[in-house]
A and B are shown apart, each in its own frame.
Chain A
Amino acid sequence: MSPAQAAAANGPQVAAPLWVLLPALVLLPLLLVLPGISHGGGWELVGQFASAGLQPSLDPLVLRSVLSGLGVTMGIALLGWAGSVVLGVVLGVASSRVVWQTVTGSTALAGWIRRLLALPRSIHELLWGLLLLQLVGLQPAVAVVAIILPFGALVARVISDLLDALPTRSLEALRCAGAPAGPALLTALGPPLLPQLISYSGYRLECALRSATLLGVFGLGGLGTELKLTLQSLAFRELWTGLWALLITMLLLEMLLGRLRQRWAMPGRLALGQTRVGGSGRELLWAGAALLPLLGAVAWGLGVDPASLLRWQPLPPMPAANWGAVAALPWGALVGNTVVMTLLAAALAVGLAPLLLLLVQPWPGGRWALQALWALGRLWPPPLIALLLLFLLQPGIITGALALGLHNLGVLGRLLLETSEHVGDGAEQALLGAGSGPRLALLYGRFSGLARPYLAYGAYRADVILRESVVVGLVGATGLGSQLLEALSAFAFDELLALLLAYALLTLVGEDLSDRLRRRLLAGAPRPGSPGVGTPDRG
Chain B
Amino acid sequence: MRTRERWTAALAGLCLALLPAVVAPLPPQLLPAAEAQQTKSRPVLRIGAIPDQNPEKLNRLYGLVAAELSQQLGVTVTYVPVTDYAAAVAAFRTGSLDLVWFGGLTGVQASLQKPGAQMIAQRDIDAQFYSVFIANTRSGIKPIQNQKGLSVLKGKRFTFGSESSTSGRLMPQYFLSQAGVKLSDFAGGAPGFSGSHDATIALVQSGTYDAGAVNEQVWKSNLRSGKANRSKVMQIWRTPSYPDYLWLGQPNLDERFGKGFTAKLRGAILSWRPSDPEQKQILSLFGAQQFTTVKAGEYKKIEQVGRQIGKIR
Contact = CB atoms under 8 A, between A and B. Distances in A.
Interface of A: 37, 39-42, 44-45, 82-83, 85-86, 89-90, 133-139, 186-187, 190-191, 193-194, 217-219, 225-226, 228-230, 232-235, 277-278, 280-282, 284-285, 288-289, 291-292, 295-296, 299-300, 303-307, 313, 316-319, 322, 390-391, 394-396, 474, 476, 478, 485-486, 488-492
B9 A187 contact: yes
Contact of A133 (B9, B81, B90): B90
B246 interface: no
Nearest to B209: A41
Interface of B is mostly: helix
A502 B105 CA distance: 29
A235 B58 CA distance: 14
Nearest to A396: B188
B178 interface: no
Nearest to B138: A41
B313 interface: yes
Given A478-B190, A486-B163, 14 more contacts: A42-B207, A44-B207, A137-B93, A137-B96, A191-B5, A229-B83, A277-B7, A284-B11, A300-B26, A319-B313, A395-B190, A396-B189, A476-B190, A491-B109
Interface string B2-23: 0111011111111110111111
20 contacts: A39-B187, A42-B208, A133-B90, A194-B8, A219-B83, A226-B55, A234-B199, A278-B4, A305-B31, A306-B27, A307-B32, A316-B114, A390-B208, A391-B203, A395-B188, A395-B190, A476-B192, A476-B193, A485-B163, A489-B311
Contacts of A299: 26-27, 31
Contacts of B94: 133-138, 313
Interface in B68-124: 80-87, 89-91, 93-97, 109, 112-115
Q: Which 6 A-B pairs have the closest CB atoms?
A: A137-B94, A394-B188, A316-B113, A278-B7, A219-B83, A137-B96
Contact of A390 (B13, B56, B115, B192): B192
Nearest to B210: A41
B206 A489 contact: no
A225 B31 contact: no
Contacts of A476: 190-193
Interface in B162-219: 163-164, 187-196, 198-199, 202-203, 206-210
Contact of B15 (A44, A280, A284): A284
Interface in B151-168: 157, 163-164
B312 A44 contact: no
Given A82-B19, A296-B22, A296-B26, A218 B83 contact: yes
B31 A303 contact: yes
A139 B96 contact: yes
B18 A490 contact: no
Interface residues of B, number: 77
Nearest to A141: B27
A490 B187 contact: no
B30 A300 contact: yes
B310 interface: yes
A86 B22 contact: yes
Contact of A186 (B9, B32, B82, B83): B9
Nearest to A170: B5
Given A234-B199, A476-B193, A39 B157 contact: yes
A95 B310 CA distance: 44
B128 to A, nearest CB: 26
A4 to B, nearest CB: 35
A304 to B, nearest CB: 6
Nearest to A297: B26
A170 to B, nearest CB: 10
A229 B206 contact: no
A395 B32 CA distance: 46
A234 B202 contact: yes
Contacts of B9: 186-187, 190-191
B35 A219 contact: no
Contact of B18 (A280, A282, A288): A288
A289 B21 CA distance: 11
A37 B188 contact: yes
A316 B95 CA distance: 12
A290 B267 CA distance: 53
A229 B51 contact: yes
A281 B8 contact: yes
B67 to A, nearest CB: 17
A285 B86 contact: no
B28 interface: yes
Contacts of A186: 9, 12-13
Nearest to B188: A394
B84 A86 contact: no
B233 to A, nearest CB: 12
B188 A282 contact: no
A68 B113 CA distance: 33
B310 A219 contact: no
B87 A305 contact: no
Contacts of B112: 316-317
A288 B31 CA distance: 23
Contacts of B209: 41
B229 interface: no
B54 interface: yes
Contacts of B21: 292
B90 A137 contact: yes
Contacts of A40: 207
Nearest to B48: A138
A226 B59 CA distance: 12
A137 B188 CA distance: 36
A86 B19 contact: yes
Contacts of B86: 488-489, 491
Contacts of A135: 94
Interface string B281-313: 000000000000000000000000000001111
Contact of A232 (B18, B35, B93, B199): B199
B166 to A, nearest CB: 13
A469 B84 CA distance: 19
